[in-house]
Structure 1
């Protein structure tokens, strides 16, 4: 009985499926596509233009961002400025070749004499402006004052007294004096003055705005000095403490005249083109030695320092 009922239901199911297939084929029933819901992502206000597009006029990205309501911060290239001193030397003094040893009758001597007269006329006008702001300024006493500033600044340099050195030299001169002096020992002394210092040049320029005046005075200093520089191992690199040398220098002393608390400070030096070359600096180098073990000593090995092999260089 059960088997007959089962056979009857299977036949009915197969007939129903065949009839449904024929109906779908005749009516062309289409099944609906699956429903896709887009997920919300980050909203992009500004999309950069595509890379590599040629021949198309690219829009201004700032205009597109402004239209989208995005504010782009402007980048300003700001550079710090220091008004306590100038950044250089205005109309520098040209020292005569040989320091006035040439005859004024020669061609070069006449050129030097003419240049000195032209510079002295401008220096007189600058000295008048300096005296308007500094009533104590005098060309007779200022040269001695400049020499004292020069001596005190170099003494502070040998003692590495940064606070005192900043009060004696300008912000332009400070890095030039301290550059390369790390891990070194400096021995400097002022022996005597061979010639009395004198003012040879003066200028009174303005910077940033009109009326912001600075006084620059060039002082000729001929003296005898000693200088010795030692490296961090105590080896002599330059000069000697016992042998003094004659030094001819042209110092530039500057002051911010508008500042009532301004002081005369060392601003730089003028090195003439005809000045002799400086002595070379003897540098310390490391010679590679043997690899010592903890229980070994260098003296007991009798190690010989290898000499560099001769190399033939071709052009």
Structure 2
């Protein structure tokens, strides 16, 4: 029995030896547990804030970084530049005191006439430059054209025609004309011209680079106009539609001479220092009335509007 079982044991032992040899040569059998290695394949665009920095603003973080000695990048605030018009008035015209009231035959009127002749030399040189770029410019016809442009611009302002107003005034003049006109009604009319408009000043400044010329012409206008401003409740704030007033104005028109498609537009208005002060604006306030029931009318209550009490204001 023992002799017969010996070959079977030997064969079994050989099989176990072969299996152990295969196990030593096969790494999968040696490492039955597979190990996973995390690999970063996607970029994280959000980085969580540090501890204690969640409720702080970027300004406070920059201030703390400056205190710690870190160099913070300098911020540059850029502003758009418009080259279709200048940002101001170059060598503005100073109107003589008492204009439109002094006679040319009086002593003061002759002095003003002599001073204007002395200052007209620079204007003549500027007019010569303007004619080189604008061959249709004429000193005799241009004042009447400027007056027509002035009337069209103010008519577009009263009609709230923004597209037409942009084509008649420069980008500097537009904010000054529309500022404070919200919730208001304007009534303006040009009655007549008391004196023919005339050209009194001309300059040809440069901007950004040499040769980039702009023409600025000052026109004196003495006319009669009507103006009335109503608030959002329809109450009169300033002026009167039926009473015309004599107005003496010095308007400045500008054109980009280098641009072949440029045209003359309103740019600014000169207010002399000796001009009389403007009339005060009548401000209106809404007084709360009685609370009405659905079946009541205000006229039936005979409600008297209370008058405001006098208040002494101190500086």
Q: Structure 1-normalised TM-score?
A: 0.73
Measure how far apart 1:290 and its partner are: 2.3
After TM superposition, give the deviation of residue 137 of structure 1 in Å: 0.7
1:175-228 deviation line (CA, Å, top 9, x unaligned): 111111112221111111111111000000001111111000000111111111
Tell me the residue number matched to 1:169.
Answer: 169
Distance apart, 1:115 and its partner CA: 4.1
- CA change 1:115–1:49 in 2 (3 A) is closer
* Deviation at residue 238 of structure 1 after TM alignment: 1.5
C-alpha contact (below 8 Å) 1:196/1:222 kept by paired residues: yes
Question: For the residues of structure 2 that align with 1:243 and 1:42, how far apart are their CA atoms?
Answer: 70
Say whether residues 1:282 and 2:279 are aligned partners: no
Shift of 1:136: 0.8
Query: 1:304 maps to what in 2?
Result: 304
Contact map agreement 2:104 2:113 (CA 8 A) in 1: no
Question: Which residue pairs with 2:154 in the alignment?
Answer: 154
Mapped partners of 1:212, 1:225: distance in 2: 37
Q: Which residue of 1 aligns with 2:25?
A: none
Q: Who is 1:241 aligned against? A: 241
Once the two structures are TM-superposed, the CA of residue 233 in structure 1 deviates from its matched residue by: 2.0
For 1:215, the equivalent position in structure 2 comes to: 215
Q: Closer, same or farther in 2 for the Cα pair 1:310/1:220, shift >3 Å?
A: closer
Counterpart of 1:185 in structure 2 is: 185
1:273 aligns with 2:273: yes
Contact preservation (8 Å) 1:104, 1:113: no
Moved over 6 A (4+): 41-44, 47-53, 102-105, 312-315
Give 5+ residue unaligned stretches, structure 2: 1-46, 51-60
Q: Matched residues in 2 for 1:52 and 1:202: separation?
A: 53
Partner of 1:208, secondary structure, is: coil
TM-fit CA distance, 1:83: 0.8
The Cα of 1:297 is off from its aligned counterpart by 3.1
Moved more, 213-222 or 299-308: 299-308
Q: 1: distance between equivalents of 2:260 and 2:313?
A: 64
- Structure 1 residues without counterparts, runs of 5 or longer: 1-40, 63-71
Distance 2:295 2:96 in 1: 66
Structure 1 residue 153: Cα displacement: 0.4
Q: Please give the secondary structure, in 1, of the residue aligned with 2:273.
A: coil
Q: Specify the SS of the correspondent of 2:75.
A: coil
Output the CA distance in 2 between the equivalents of 1:48 and 1:86.
Answer: 38
The CA distance in 1 between the partners of 2:161 and 2:279, in whole Å, is 27
> Once superposed, what is the RMSD of the aligned Cα atoms?
3.0
1:78 deviation in Å?
0.7
Q: Distance in 1 between matches of 2:166 and 2:63?
A: 53
Deviations 1:244-285 (A, max 9, x none): 111111110000111110010001111111111111222221
* Aligned match of 2:95: 95
- Structure 2 residue aligned with 1:31: none
The whole-number CA distance in structure 2 between the counterparts of 1:232 and 1:277 is 25
Partner secondary structure for residue 139 of structure 1: coil
* 1:122 aligned onto 2:132: no
Higher mean displacement: 134-143 or 97-106: 97-106
Aligned to 1:196: 196
Distance 1:95 1:259, change over 3 A: same
Evaluate the alpha carbon distance shift between residue 259 and residue 49 of structure 1 in structure 2; reply closer, same or farther with a 3 A threshold. Answer: closer
Aligned partner of 1:32 in structure 2 is none
Cα distance in 2, alignment partners of residues 154 and 195 from structure 1: 19
Equivalent position SS for 1:155:
helix
Residue 141 of structure 2 aligns with which residue?
A: 141
Q: Do 1:195 and 1:221's aligned partners in 2 also have CA atoms closer than 8 Å?
A: yes
